[in-house]
Structure 1
Amino acid sequence: KLPGAPAWAAIFFFMLVVLGIDSEFCIVESFVTGMVDNWPDQLRPHRGKFTMAMCVLLFLLGVPMVTHGGAYIFQLMDYYSASGMCLLWVCFFQTISISWIFGADKFIDCVHQMMGVRPNRFWYFCWVIFAPATMVFIFVFYIVQYVPAKYGPYVYPDWA
């Protein structure tokens, strides 16, 4: 038996609460900082109120997660919006927009201006050909291996 087990359990769960609060603080603060930096004249004088409003809004968005159907909503959000597929789409379109639309040569010039070192042709190949092709391959593999979302015995409909 662990000596002082109730004390260790209390410390452990206190650590979990502090870790959760810290994680949420980082997420909310990065979002609020981005918004305030985007509209400094309107939001900087009211930063505290804006932060409180965002916390209340995010709390209200989380309330459905603690209802009877919350596990189903959470599973749906976890499977589709927090999966690697969404991140893959964002990375794919960022890579295409930077390397093909903005132009890889211009991007190399920007990197040279910022870093003082010009990236070699390997990076050009990676940005223009290798990274998009790899992401398309992963997407096709995902489509072939696709299994609809389910929670326990419940299978979500196709439109979910």
Structure 2
Amino acid sequence: MALFPGSPFWSTLFFLMLLNLGLSTMFGNMQGILTPLMDNFKLLGRHKTLLTVFTCALGFLIGLLFTQRCGNYFVMMFDDYSATLPLIIVVIFEAISVSWVYGADRFLDDIEVMLQWRPPVVYKYMWKYVCLVSMIGLLGASLVRMFVKRPTYTAWNHSTAEEMTLEYPGWALVLLTMLILIASLPIPIGYAHSLLKTRLGRTRGEDGECKPERERYTKCDTAEPNDARRRTLSIEDNENRPGASFLPIDIDRYQLLPQQEEVEDEEDTGV
């Protein structure tokens, strides 16, 4: 780029592109963090602006760690250990929950309803056996390698002007372990919390204090609901929706509108 005519102009455009690319990526990342927090904690949802500012400031302070002279080593540490093993663990839990807990057949039924065609049955066995066994084997091999061979990193030797492979110190190994646990523990903790909450609700329902909520969903149904009932529910939902901007219409008159449109279409076509 330095050899281009007007290289300062092209360099400015290049770094502006990198800046916009990073900002657009962070928009999605921030929403992935803020939205679950605001959905699960009503107090945080009332102070969305303060939560956003605090999260951005915290991320900025953490990011200063990667701008030091040794920042590249921390980048390598986070890149190698905060995403690889936790991602494998997340995929294993996802395969178990979808294929065995929820049920692969039920999941295929859901896909059929959404796509209007049923995926081949080979996906069922891939999810239940092949992918799950492969991920467990990959996780086991990675853990064995970590315990047998101590984790290393590549460092630059200024005296010899060449790269060296060094072992992580003790505090770095503790940090690596914390990175893996922090990224992996929310899933089993959430599962245990949901399981205990469900069992506690069933126990209270048997004692007569409160009844657990009945599962409303068992299996996707491909049958279309009654059109008149669907329109009635749609009108009631729109009337109860805050800030509705359309004028209220009588339900009977509203239900006749589609029939009138069909008659007009028949007259236009001459049928």
State whether TM-score is above 0.5: yes
**Taking structure 1 as the reference length, what is the TM-score of the superposition?**
0.78
Aligned counterpart, 2:62: 61
Aligned counterpart, 2:74: 73
Gaps of 5+ in 2: 156-163, 175-271
Q: How large is the RMSD of aligned CA atoms in angstroms?
A: 2.7
Q: Deviations over 1:53-107 (max 9, x none)?
A: 1101111222222234433322211110133x32122111210122223333443
Of structures 1 and 2, the one scoring higher in RCO (CA 8 A, sep 6+) is 1
- Residue 153 of structure 2 aligns to which amino acid in structure 1? K
Alignment pair present for 1:156 and 2:168 = yes
Q: Deviations over 1:106-153 (max 9, x none)?
A: 434444555555544322211211111222343355457666231313
Q: 1:70 to 1:96 in 2, by over 3 A?
A: same
Gaps of 5+ in 1: none
Q: CA deviation at 1:33?
A: 2.2
Q: Distance in 1 between matches of 2:39 and 2:116?
A: 27
Alignment pair present for 1:8 and 2:10 = yes
Q: 1:31 to 1:143 in 2, by over 3 A?
A: closer
Q: Distance in 2 between matches of 1:124 and 1:12?
A: 46
* Larger Rg over CA atoms: 2
Q: Is the 8 A contact 1:75 1:151 kept in 2?
A: no
Map residues 24-103 of structure 1 onto 2, 5 A cutoff. Answer: 24-39=26-41, 41-83=42-84, 85-103=85-103
Deviates more, 1:143-152 or 1:90-99: 143-152
Q: Distance in 1 between matches of 2:142 and 2:123?
A: 26
Q: Distance in 1 between matches of 2:49 and 2:144?
A: 48
Aligned counterpart, 2:127: 127
Q: Distance in 2 between matches of 1:139 and 1:46?
A: 40
Q: Secondary structure at the match of 1:86?
A: helix
Aligned counterpart, 1:138: 138
Q: Secondary structure at the match of 1:2?
A: coil
Of 17, 20, 36, the residue aligned with 2:22 is: 20
How many residues are matched?
158
**Bigger proportion of residues as helix:** 1
